[in-house]
Structure 1
Amino acid sequence: MRKNRFLFNKHVVAMATLGALAAPLPVLSNEPGVLVEQLCASCHSLNNLERSAGYSQADWQTLTSYMIDTGEGTALSKDISTYLAKHYPVNTKRESTVVKGDLKLSFKYWQVPTLGQRARDPVQGENGLIWWVGQWGNILGRLNPKTGEMKEYTLPSGTYAHSVSLDKNQTPWFLGNKNGTVGYLDLTTEKFKVYKMPDKNARDPHTGVFDNAGIFWFTLQHSNMVGKLDPKSGDIKLATLPTKGSRPYGIKLDSNGTPWVSCNGSNCLVRVDKNTMELSEIKLPGAKTHTRRLAITPDDMVFYVNSGMGKLGRYNPKNGKITQWDNPSGANSHPYAIEYADNAIWFNESAKRPETLVRFDLKTQTMQSWQIPSKEGVYSGLIRHMRMGNNGLIIHQTATNQLAEITWSQ
């Protein structure tokens, strides 16, 4: 490799500026193996390379271009991708199982401007605009899908938002996962309004949803709490889950406006009384069961991903019955995101490569699945949240820093 090559990694620069790096990056090595370790380990574990599906030189070059800017067609880009292709070739260690069916999917992609930001949790408003957060880049982003125009806002220092939700006025609210805050962007002044948690133990607001009364409900995963904020008064109330280490993660509302919470650290779902905030825990079968997220159908059936056992589950609040179905790719598929759309439950198998999107037909109780490509056809991952937009599912891939809209047809 030639000396004195310039590498521009926006995420590493941002991390260094914010003091997120344990130590300054050393001078970049001229030896490909050391260079790959320096660059990859600055943003994620090197185990990600070992656990990847492996790629050809061309696909590694494309995939790394989503993470760091080495310059299109440069010798540096070629050297890195050649090394990766040699040491991490295509493999089937985490191969997914695809179930064929009649539906066809279409994908529309957008690459976010700042690389390495870990773009996630996009949500589309009624006005068509899509908002997302770049968790590692401390970014709130906006996309106009009609024009492709994007704008990124730097969040208050130390926020590192985990998710974004929209209120009835289409205002984006973020959840400060690292500084115990929730807040919103004033669309007129383009300034942030921030609310600090009233309890120092409420450290990590995670995922949120607005009810019809305008109350913002949210989870705090490692704090083991559920919270609600009244934007009119700024009043925040918190409730601690009954089981220690439950790690409340996803949150959705049923047709009555009752919040339901999934437990990422325990085999439970939690129903929240919207008036008193009293918590009712529903124990799910299986000691290894834990649930990243949940979805609720129009008839108030509570579906959840059993991330610990590779199953799709359904809890019937009317009679307490619990039913589970095996995922196509098995017990170690780690289903993650989930959404109801078009008389079906959609979820992903996040531990598989290529990652799959699964559709569970509510009428026939059968599944169909597809491997999920990236913008240029590279199969990577992973989806951590999905929500129905105006025309289809709105998803993200944290590995590629891409947003996408998925539509379907016969």
Structure 2
Amino acid sequence: MKSLYPLLAALLLALASTPVHADAPAKPGLKEWKVPWENTRPRDPFVGPAGNSVWFVGQAGDYVATLNPETGGLKRYRLDPGTGPHNVIADERGAFYAGNLDGHIGLIDPDSGNTRKFRLEGDGPRDVHTMAFDSNGDIWFTEQAGNRIGRLEVDEYDFRMYPVKSESARPYGLVVGPDDRPWATLFGTNRLATVDREGQLREIRLPRDDARPRRLDITDKGILWYVDYSGGFLGRLDTNSGEILEWPVPGGPNAYPYAMALDDQGRPWFVETGPSPNRLIGFDPESERFSDPAAVPSGGGTVRHMVFDPETRSFWFGTDTNTVVRASLQ
């Protein structure tokens, strides 16, 4: 009789080399910092280049601020009344904020507090909404009421604007892909949008007519994830093949998923803003399983935007309950 050991060894080797489907993401730990400037709607945190400060804006308080997560220290930079800051992104040059109500992008010097304004020209709404850097350090952004996607070449102080053909499309969330193309949600429609390499704005229709995509993120391989706020779906667009897949979120049609971002494994996380308290939920694309919800301790009110910091494996977001939150992955 032949020995069974070679067969067993071969079987064990095959099992060891067989990919194991990941389980649902583990529920993260949440820590909140109370913002002392009451009823100012702190939002859109962004981890600074040094990693020791987190920038955010007070949309209803006309300020940009930093939080030191180690000490809990806060520093506020006051803006002109009526600025209505909506979003902030930062690099070695300082913090760029979206002057949503005043038609400009501002750059704050963290040391002096001095502000340089890049003002949009023309008539009609110029409501800079959500911004993202490209690889050159220039800025792509959306205008919700202006119905445009724009690009600011910072060094040249040069704006280039791309009108959206669909009326009242409400360009909203925006990210920049690995090839430096911007991708945006058109919250007033069931479409996404991008500006191609030839400089043409192109719209991508989603399968359901009543879908209203609000936030999105993209992997380095061009897999784009989005949340459908009105229908309660998580969606996936392969920007290479055009394939679109969707999954109902755990909270159902009244979940109103809003803020979302990808972690360092390419897994989408989003906040259901329908439930009170708001709930942070992750999704594993391999197992197609959702994580257990992590409730925002203060309730959240509405969590509108979040980012992922790969250095600390943490998400950051602001809340309408006047807090800034770090969600740390296990």
**TM-score, normalising length from structure 2?**
0.88
Higher helix share: 1
Which residue in the other structure is 1:358 paired with?
281
Is the counterpart of residue 142 in structure 1 residue 66 in structure 2? yes
Q: Distance in 1 between matches of 2:300 and 2:144?
A: 26
Deviations 1:58-101 (A, max 9, x none): xxxxxxxxxxxxxxxxxxxxxxxxxxxxxxxxxxxxxxxxxx96
Higher strand share: 2
* DSSP-derived class of the 2:33 partner: strand
Which residue among 89, 95, 98 is the counterpart of 1:165?
89
Which residue in the other structure is 1:14 paired with?
none
* DSSP-derived class of the 1:319 partner: coil
Which residue in the other structure is 1:385 paired with?
305
Q: Distance in 1 between matches of 2:79 and 2:55?
A: 13
Task: Flag as ranges the 4+ runs of structure 1 deviating above 4 A.
Answer: none
Q: Which runs of 5+ in 2 are unaligned?
A: 1-22
1:338 offset after TM fit, Å?
1.0
| Larger CA deviation: 379-388 vs 243-252 | 379-388
Q: Distance in 2 between matches of 1:171 and 1:102?
A: 34
Contact 2:236-2:246 at 8 Å conserved across structures: yes
1:368 offset after TM fit, Å?
1.1
Which residue among 310, 331, 356 is the counterpart of 2:232?
310
Which residue in the other structure is 2:100 paired with?
177
Equivalences for residues 306-385 of structure 1 within 5 A? 306-343=228-265, 344-374=267-297, 378-385=298-305
Is the counterpart of residue 220 in structure 1 residue 143 in structure 2? yes
Which residue in the other structure is 2:212 paired with?
290
Q: Which amino acid aligns with 1:160?
A: G
Contact 1:202-1:225 at 8 Å conserved across structures: no
Q: Which runs of 5+ in 1 are unaligned?
A: 1-99
Is the counterpart of residue 408 in structure 1 residue 329 in structure 2? yes
- CA change 1:186–1:310 in 2 (3 A) is same
Q: Which amino acid aligns with 2:82?
A: G
Contact 2:24-2:283 at 8 Å conserved across structures: no
Which residue in the other structure is 1:21 paired with?
none
Contact 2:27-2:294 at 8 Å conserved across structures: no
Contact 1:356-1:369 at 8 Å conserved across structures: no
1:241 offset after TM fit, Å?
0.5
* DSSP-derived class of the 1:369 partner: coil
* DSSP-derived class of the 1:260 partner: strand
Q: Distance in 2 between matches of 1:101 and 1:189?
A: 46
Q: Which protein has greater RCO, CA pairs closer than 8 Å, 6+ apart? A: 2
Deviations 1:22-53 (A, max 9, x none): xxxxxxxxxxxxxxxxxxxxxxxxxxxxxxxx
Q: Distance in 2 between matches of 1:164 and 1:221?
A: 16
Equivalences for residues 3-22 of structure 1 within 5 A? none
Equivalences for residues 272-283 of structure 1 within 5 A? 272-273=195-196, 276-283=198-205
1:382 offset after TM fit, Å?
1.9
Alpha-carbon RMSD across the aligned residues, in angstroms, is 1.6
Q: Distance in 1 between matches of 2:124 and 2:25?
A: 50
Q: Which amino acid aligns with 1:221?
A: Q
- CA change 1:333–1:257 in 2 (3 A) is same
Aligned length: 304
Which residue in the other structure is 1:126 paired with?
49
* DSSP-derived class of the 1:331 partner: helix
Q: Which amino acid aligns with 1:329?
A: G
Q: Distance in 1 between matches of 2:183 and 2:287?
A: 26
Which residue in the other structure is 2:183 paired with?
260
Deviations 1:137-172 (A, max 9, x none): 1111111111111111111232111111113x1611
**TM-score, normalising length from structure 1?**
0.71
